[in-house]
Amino acid sequence: MTRTKQPYPVAELLAAVRSEIQAERRSDGQDGQKVSLSGGRLVSSSAGRFEYVFICKKWDQALDGASVLVRASRSRGLWTTAEASRMPDGKVRLIATEELAKPVSNVQIRQDDTAGLVMVAERLESVGQDDSPVRVESAGWMVGVGHPAVARDADPGRWVSNWQGLRLNPRQRLAIEQALASQVLFLWGPPGTGKTDVVGHIVEGCFRQGHHVLFLAPTKVAVDQALERMCDLLEAEDRFPEGLVQRAGDIEVPSLRDRYGAYVDPAQITARISAQLDESLTTTTDTLKNTRAAIALHDDLASLEQALASARTTRSAAVTSKETAEKDKLRAEADAARLRLKMSQLGTPSGLFAKRKETQLATLRGELAQAEAASHGARKQAADAEREAEQAAADVGELTGRVAAARSRVAGVAARQVLARRAEALQKQIDELDQQRRKIHDTVRSRCRVMGATVAKAVQSRKLLDRVDVVVMDEAGMVDLPSAWLAAGLAGKRVVVAGDFRQLPAVTKGEGDQKATEQERAHSRQWASRDAFHAAGLVSASGSVRHDPRLVALDTQYRMREPICDVVNVVAYPDAPLSTGRDGHSRIPFNPLVDAPVILVDTSKHRIPGPDHKANTVNEAVVHELVRGLQYEGVLPGRKWENAKTGERATDRLGVIAPYKAQVRALKGSLKYRFGEEYEGLVDTIHRFQGSQRPIIVFDTAVGAGKNPGFFYQGTGLSSQTCRLLNVALSRAQDHLIVVADIDHLRGHLAPHSEARLMLDHLESHAQLISADQLVPTRDAAQLSALSEEELARPAFFPADEVYAAVEWDIARAATSIELYCPFLDPRPVRTWSALLGRRVADGVKVVVHTRAAEEQRDDTAVQRHQQRIDELRSVGCEVDFRERMHEKVLILDGAVLWHGSLNLLANTGPTDLMMRFTDPASCERVTRVIDRARKDRAAWNPRQAAGDGSGREHQAAAPSTAPGDGALSPGDVVGGRLYLQVPYADKEEAKKKLSARWDSKNRMWYVDAARVSRAQAGRWLP
């Protein structure tokens, strides 16, 4: 094997991939499932291999035998790669590549999402070697290197069936003609423009030209949807049942599995050829697994026996030590007795030889002291030895029982040497069977002319097809640049790149890694996050598209009604607006609630203030009522309907999209209550809706509180994530688009040229406008008693002056429980409400008041007053629970009725604006869960101690202080209650927003309030 110099841009791509790996191992892995392990101990170690055994209470089978990442619980350090497997006794064996930081008693593990990136790095490193499958010329086309031929096929009817009769518009025909005659084609397919059909005909034509085609997409669903279309076009071919079109990897889309699974799934094709071989391989694999489990029993027994032998040795040594010490004690006591006798015989010094006797007595006293010291030391040594012997005896007893149990498990099991030989023979047999199976797979693979796979599988696999002439990459806007470069390099003759660079971008972490340098983040932005359209020079720095012969843009969409398309054009395609090729009719039954193509529901005047921008209770209520109204009109199935026809099910007609997972969870819970069951795919994030379309789309913008609207709305420009994500959300709608937004809040926080602001401007001018109170009623307390249970279950607003009477009515009706979250307590409201709460306790209702602890008050007088209020509540039977620095103001009744807003029921400052009343057990459970998750597991915050008690002593947790202005300050110092930070200029606005950081001009450093901002919160700007 020879190696040549790596071609451009392998070094740049490789550095970007390594940054992605580092970013993933630095991250907290918040999106992934974690498993906690405890009681860890190191079993063995050698170069690059450290074996640990842990106890696991709740195991995830997906991690068994998988590559995982591991780090100590509560650590913020790097994750270490390891392999995990569960042992027969339920313990988990972990084999790490590095020694884990001590102590290793408690760790967390999660799926190793870097495994695929490591494979990409290995593929890049191999470029230039003889065995590398990457053709540098075709790969280079993805970054604008080279001069690929661009032409048009004059007679595509030779390759595409019924060419003249196909319902294709001129741009679609141009794309197919150019693809079949060029070395490279970039196909820009905005939403609804028929890109999947065009790609299907391109693959059909390439097949009939005699080429072997590798079709790729970033997701399994995208692969399956396109492959199903290709099967429709090629199923009449003679060898189609023998695997002419195949799918590498699991089939995700049910329709492809049901219609063509037997013909495209290599496993099913292989199974038809050799079912017996598969059965033998399965049986042998199970036998090997059981054999290895038996070996593990022997290994556990050997480990316990070794520990038992060590304990016995320790006990024997301790007994011997005790016996020796007792002999030494007796000897020392005898010496002491002898010396005392001598001293008594000498008597009191007197007479002529008094001086000589005194000298003899002094000598004897010294010897006696030594003898007594020796006796004391021997007694102590004997006692220590006795304790050691007792502990060793206890260990021997425990280990003897464990050894006996282990021996009972091993009883009847073959000897370890026999099992080891058997395992070796079984593995050899499996290898032979697998080799035979691979030969069959080779035969099956040789019959394949069109292979569908994910991009990840293609770039990580050694060989999917014996020969690849054409690579067709769909949804390429979602593919990171290193993967796109490698995938294109698999093509021997032609590359077709299809997608929309203004829809979902690739998911990368390097450009957002706050622990990386700005230079590293910029490199990741250029060489990892960009898609092939940008890297090839088809898109300008501002995001506008360039005219280029390599690019064909589809310009007519058939999904959305024209008013919806107009919104999408304003947001995402101002420089290349789409025309509409469908009629203006709606496919859902006419109803007076949703009768316009585009509707804007404004929740500005019903905002419930709060710190969280990722969830919005008012928007949730609006969506709930929209769905309720559509159920009433017969557009959506009612609660617990079981016989809705295909096309009339909830997910056939409706999709609800939100930008943040917190709002998605809230909406899922609310609509589950509304429908009586949870519909998969009804509510989700924007990423999860990519590739879907529905007659009605509700886009919940979510934000309505907090200091900023969050990352989703931060970008500006046609290439920004904001533009791309908004495009996907809006363009899922076919007939009706409903946008729910707190317009005033968004306008107050969006950048002047934000695409989100452009969307609002257009909607306010062209959409049907609805206020939230047209969907969610505003009630007064007197109405409650006259409402039916159905009406009571509806979300409703209550003006501030009606809240107390309405809450009193609800409390009086509570049947089982009342939970009141109120951080502040004042005498008059506590006295007023205690009377009613006490009567409800007497009725058997459980009343719990959650408030701040007394020691959190600012001064001793306030502590005393707060404690008096607590005692008053307890005196009437209320339970009082303390929550550190809480700010939540919520009332939950019977786990089903939720009052949400500024309800400070037990304080003088009552509700200052609209309150919302919900009847939704799911919302109550979610709010309780969120509050519990926010609870601190540490001693209550004491503001008096944090601010100094007047004695000049700093809080215990403060770092060593220096005097302000003495020039010796360093980041991390706490001076006068200020925690000083190292904030780069580029981060100062973020530090100000997140931590309320301030600038100390005298010391020329940024600082925060050390009493309110922990070191963990400020860790990013600390040494």
CB 619 within 8 A of CB 701: yes
- The Cα 513–Cα 490 span in angstroms is 31
DSSP 911: -
Q: Return the pLDDT at 561.
A: 97
- The Cα 418–Cα 291 span in angstroms is 10
Question: Which residue has better confidence, 314 or 761?
Answer: 761
- The Cα 638–Cα 632 span in angstroms is 8
- The pLDDT tens digits for 456-497 are 999 999 889 999 999 999 999 999 999 999 999 999 999 999
Using pLDDT thresholds of 50, 70 and 90, give the confidence band for residue 939.
very low
Give me the chain's average pLDDT, please: 88
Q: Which amino acid is at 219?
A: T
Pick the most confident of 74-78, 101-105, 226-230, 313-317: 226-230
- The pLDDT tens digits for 329-359 are 898 889 888 888 888 887 887 877 788 888 8
Model confidence at 583: pLDDT above 80:
yes
CB 618 within 8 A of CB 742: yes
C-alpha distances (whole Å) from 127 to each of 122, 124, 184, 869 are: 9, 5, 21, 74
Pick the most confident of 584-593, 612-621, 943-952, 1013-1022: 584-593
CB 253 within 8 A of CB 224: yes
Model confidence at 942: pLDDT above 60:
no
- The pLDDT tens digits for 532-551 are 999 999 999 889 999 999 99
Cis peptide, bond prior to residue 266, ω within 30 of zero: no
| Kind and range of the H or E run holding 46 | strand 34-46
Question: Which residue has better confidence, 390 or 448?
Answer: 448
CB 608 within 8 A of CB 617: yes
Sign of the torsion angle spanned by Cα atoms 847, 850, 855, 861: negative
Q: Which amino acid is at 1003?
A: N
**Sheet harboring 598-602: ordered strands across?**
683-685, 654-658, 694-700, 733-741, 598-602, 768-771
Closest C-alpha among 544, 528, 573 to residue 189: 573
Model confidence at 639: pLDDT above 70:
yes
| pLDDT over 70 percentage in the chain | 95
Give 86's strand partners. Answer: 92
Q: Which amino acid is at 3?
A: R
Backbone phi, then psi, for 111, in 5-degree steps?
-55, 135
- The pLDDT tens digits for 120-161 are 999 999 998 888 999 999 999 999 999 999 999 999 999 999
CB 702 within 8 A of CB 659: yes
DSSP secondary structure of 665-715 = HHHHHHHHHHHSSPPTTSEEEHHHHTT--EEEEEEE----SSSS--GGGT-
- The Cα 981–Cα 971 span in angstroms is 5
Using pLDDT thresholds of 50, 70 and 90, give the confidence band for residue 937.
very low
Backbone phi, then psi, for 26, in 5-degree steps?
-90, -25
C-alpha distances (whole Å) from 167 to each of 153, 194, 198 are: 19, 11, 11
| Kind and range of the H or E run holding 408 | helix 354-410
pTM of full prediction above 0.85: no
DSSP secondary structure of 815-836 = SSEEEEE-S---HHHHHHHHHH
- The Cα 17–Cα 138 span in angstroms is 20
First to last CA, the chain: 47
Model confidence at 239: pLDDT above 80:
yes
Question: Which residue has better confidence, 936 or 414?
Answer: 414
Q: Return the pLDDT at 965.
A: 44
- The Cα 604–Cα 617 span in angstroms is 12
CB 148 within 8 A of CB 182: yes
CB 440 within 8 A of CB 270: yes
Q: For residue 374, count other CB atoms closer than 10 A to its CB.
A: 17
The angle formed by the CA atoms of residues 191, 193 and 197, to the nearest 5 degrees, is 115
Model confidence at 999: pLDDT above 60:
yes
Q: Return the pLDDT at 46.
A: 87
Mean pLDDT of 663-671: 90
- The Cα 1008–Cα 966 span in angstroms is 19
Q: Return the pLDDT at 386.
A: 85
**Residue 102: CB partners within 8 Å, gap ≥ 6?**
none
Largest separation between any pair of C-alpha atoms in the chain: 147
Model confidence at 385: pLDDT above 60:
yes
Closest C-alpha among 455, 487, 554 to residue 176: 554
Model confidence at 951: pLDDT above 50:
no
| Kind and range of the H or E run holding 430 | helix 416-446
Model confidence at 594: pLDDT above 70:
yes
Using pLDDT thresholds of 50, 70 and 90, give the confidence band for residue 934.
low
Out of 456-460, 579-583, 750-754, 859-863, least confident range: 859-863
Closest C-alpha among 680, 683, 677 to residue 663: 683
Q: Return the pLDDT at 912.
A: 60
- The pLDDT tens digits for 900-915 are 877 788 987 666 667 8
Q: Return the pLDDT at 968.
A: 64
Q: Return the pLDDT at 950.
A: 39
| pLDDT over 90 percentage in the chain | 52
Model confidence at 284: pLDDT above 60:
yes
Model confidence at 960: pLDDT above 80:
no
- The pLDDT tens digits for 597-606 are 999 999 998 8
